[in-house]
Amino acid sequence: MLHIDCYNPKNRFSRKETWNEESPEGRFRKFGYDEIVARDKTNLDIF
């Protein structure tokens, strides 16, 4: 698979997570806002 195949903005809403605790080698995982801001040195400023 080419790297460009992994990032395809046309199908971003139909993607499924491939990571879970039973399959930790999975590549894709979604994170909630609370999980992200709880990380050390998180900065969501877009400026």
Q: What's residue 3's pLDDT?
A: 53
In sequence order, the β-bridge partners of residue 22 are: none
How many beta carbons lie within 10 A of that of residue 19, not counting itself?
13
Rounded to whole angstroms, the Cα distance separating 30 from 17 reads 7
Extract the tokens encoding 19: 């990571």
Q: What's residue 34's pLDDT?
A: 92
* 5: enclosing H helix or E strand: helix 3-6
Q: What's residue 46's pLDDT?
A: 82
**pLDDT, tens digit (0-9, with 9 covering 90-100), for 4-47:** 566 677 777 887 888 888 888 887 888 889 998 899 888 888 87
pTM of the model: 0.47
Rounded to whole angstroms, the Cα distance separating 46 from 3 reads 25
pLDDT at residue 2 above 60?
Answer: no
Q: What's residue 19's pLDDT?
A: 87
